[in-house]
Amino acid sequence: MKKFYITTPIYYVNAEPHIGGAYTTIAADVLARYHRMIGDNTFFLTGADEHGAKIEKAAEKAGKTPQEFVDELSAKYELAWDELNISNDNFIRTTDENHIKAAQNAMQRLYDKGFIYKGEYEGLYCVGCEQYKTEKELVDGKCPDHNIEPQKVKEECYMFKLSAFQDKILELIESDEFKISPEERKNEVLSFFKNNKLSDISCSRKNVKWGIELPWDKEQTVYVWLEAFLNYLTGIGWDGRSPLLPRNWPPEVQLIGKDILRVHTTIWPAMLLALDLPLPKQLFIHGFFLVDGQKMSKSIGNVIAPGDLVKKYGVDGARYLLMSATPFGHDGDISWEKFDEKYNADLANGLGNLVARSITLAEKMSAGGIKLQKADENFQFSIFNPSASSGQVFQTIFNFQFSIKDMEVENVLKAFQDKLSLFHLEKAIDIINLQIKFLDSFITAVKPWEMIKNNDEQIGKVMYNILERIRIIAWLVWPFMPQTAEKIWVSLGLDLKEEVNKKFEQGVKWGGLPENIKVKKGEVLFPRINSTEL
């Protein structure tokens, strides 16, 4: 059995969750659900980054102890992810006792191996990034990501020998052994490596008390990024010491936003190389959400909370809108107007309407005593076209391909899987929508309601094809909108437990729909939205 270990960054719990973090988390969830569905041994890790100056300050501002503060906020993150139906296998908190011990063990190991030495560091520190910045990186003296002036920091600390790993990391990135996707991000990193020399970095802080103590010098706490990286290992049970690694290591993919690409391609691989551990197979970098053209940020006041989306569009609506908002890997502009439009077009009028009209037809058919009849996906049949002129009987041959090869189930499934293996989430969604449109226009062209009225002997087969296609579409929908897919199976009269226990390969096999099902009209899947107001 193949394994699939996927991670998100751990989120700073200095403020309530917003949809930037929800975006990475839902994307990871879709991929984790997809890999479970195809039978891979899957582990999905997310969590909270709870130490450091940024959190310490936020807690102070809130008049709370850092521990009280992170307890409250981490709980809000977990709740937000629950509300979005996130299927993470663990939620790591960096204040967990196991993480603290393991991080200390790993730091000790780096120290014992000679990769950490005593020094002094002077630089410009951006608390927002929790990183030292070079003059070159600042715009008008401010950090461009946080729009704040960094603080001058000069302190005694321990240094990590990052400079020792430049050549090795470059080689691993160039050869794709440590793959960076999409390609333009890889090129960006390569050009950084070719034009800059990595310097050693400060890996401890004397003046930050809210952190993990260095085991050999209790005066200092571990630099928050170093221990944060270790979450990817401690979150699957590594103790920081044992040469025996957890069986999920290394990750097949780590999803990150573009703002944390540099640290993930320098400090992170260097730590792993220093610890003699295998590197992740791949980093996938996504872009930013922009709201009405501006970066979503608290200072601008355009932050959207995941709960706001769920309230308006439902859990699956929220998941769908975030996943389809922008090509995964690129920045994208989002707005309530765009969300409303897309929700109505793709979900209310698209999938929701297709399922509702098909179930109504199947109910009518069964009320008329007509039974479903299994048929091949490409079976051909003729229909009477009443709009033909001069009473002429027009025989139109339809088959379910509409002569478009791409509509054959096997091709559709292959294309869908290809897109997901490349992390083209929005393209996988396009494939689903194309199927929905195809089936919808098929129904409009064939007019099964007239076939029912005319007692057409082909109707049992025609309806079988429609419902069977819907059952298969639900399989593609499942990782993106789990509840919706399950509701569809239930309205098709299927035994939900049986359906969800099938492996994908078996589930999407043509003919899985029994002829004797009793369809049930469920609630409206996606009620239309009329206003742009919340």
- Asked if omega into 250 is within 30° of 0 (cis), the reply is yes
Residues 31 and 263: beta-carbon distance below 8 Å: no
Question: Which residue has the CB atom at the shortest distance from ligand MSP?
Answer: 257
From 3-11, 26-34, 66-74, 335-343, span contacting ligand MSP (CB under 6 A): 3-11
Residue closest to 401 by CA, chosen among 348, 497, 469: 469
Nearby residues of 150 by Cβ (< 8 Å), 6 or more positions away: 124, 125, 126, 127, 132, 133, 138, 142, 143
Beta strand ranges found along 390-498 (DSSP E): 395-398
Residues 268-327 that bind ligand MSP (CB under 6 A): 288-289, 296
Cβ 393 to ligand MSP shortest distance, Å? 59
Residue closest to 189 by CA, chosen among 122, 278, 271, 282: 282
Q: Quick one: 297 or 373, whose CB is closer to ligand MSP?
A: 297
Q: How many residues bind ligand MSP (CB under 6 A)?
A: 19
From 15-23, 137-145, 495-503, 508-516, span contacting ligand MSP (CB under 6 A): 15-23
Asked if 24 interacts with ligand MSP (CB under 6 A), we say yes
Asked if 21 interacts with ligand MSP (CB under 6 A), we say yes
Residues 205-244 that bind ligand MSP (CB under 6 A): 228-229, 231
* Residue of 4, 5, 6, 20 that binds ligand MSP (CB under 6 A): 20
Q: Quick one: 259 or 430, whose CB is closer to ligand MSP?
A: 259
Cβ 229 to ligand MSP shortest distance, Å? 5
Cβ 419 to ligand MSP shortest distance, Å? 21
Residue closest to 21 by CA, chosen among 72, 67, 88: 88
Q: Quick one: 57 or 502, whose CB is closer to ligand MSP?
A: 57
Q: Quick one: 20 or 317, whose CB is closer to ligand MSP?
A: 20
* Residue of 5, 6, 10, 214 that binds ligand MSP (CB under 6 A): 10
* Residue of 31, 34, 49, 318 that binds ligand MSP (CB under 6 A): 49
391: left (phi over 0), alpha (psi -120 to 50) or beta: left
Asked if 260 interacts with ligand MSP (CB under 6 A), we say yes
Q: Quick one: 115 or 328, whose CB is closer to ligand MSP?
A: 328
Asked if 475 interacts with ligand MSP (CB under 6 A), we say no
Cβ 10 to ligand MSP shortest distance, Å? 5
Cβ 479 to ligand MSP shortest distance, Å? 20
Nearby residues of 1 by Cβ (< 8 Å), 6 or more positions away: 39, 40, 41
Cβ 332 to ligand MSP shortest distance, Å? 9
Cβ 278 to ligand MSP shortest distance, Å? 17
* Residue of 256, 309, 362, 446 that binds ligand MSP (CB under 6 A): 256
DSSP 275-322: TT-PPPSEEEEE--EEETTEE--TTTT----HHHHHHHHHHHHHHHHH
From 8-16, 78-86, 377-385, 448-456, span contacting ligand MSP (CB under 6 A): 8-16
Give me the phi and psi of 74, to 5 degrees please.
-60, -40
User: Which two structure tokens, joined as six digits, stand for 170?
Assistant: 């470059």
Give me the phi and psi of 99, to 5 degrees please.
-65, -45
Tell me the three state secondary structure of residue 335.
coil
Could you tell me which residues are beta bridge partners of residue 381? 398
Cβ 487 to ligand MSP shortest distance, Å? 29
Q: Which residue has the tokens 């449109």?
A: 437
Q: Which amino acid is at 281?
A: K
Residues 115 and 275: beta-carbon distance below 8 Å: no
Asked if 12 interacts with ligand MSP (CB under 6 A), we say yes
From 10-18, 31-39, 134-142, 463-471, span contacting ligand MSP (CB under 6 A): 10-18
Residues 203 and 226: beta-carbon distance below 8 Å: yes
Q: What is residue 190's DSSP assignment?
A: H
CA dihedral 179, 184, 189, 194 (to 10 degrees): 110
From 141-149, 252-260, 368-376, 518-526, span contacting ligand MSP (CB under 6 A): 252-260
Residues 350 and 439: beta-carbon distance below 8 Å: no
Q: Quick one: 225 or 464, whose CB is closer to ligand MSP?
A: 225
**Positions that interact with ligand MSP (CB under 6 A):** 9-12, 20-21, 23-24, 49, 228-229, 231, 256-257, 259-260, 288-289, 296
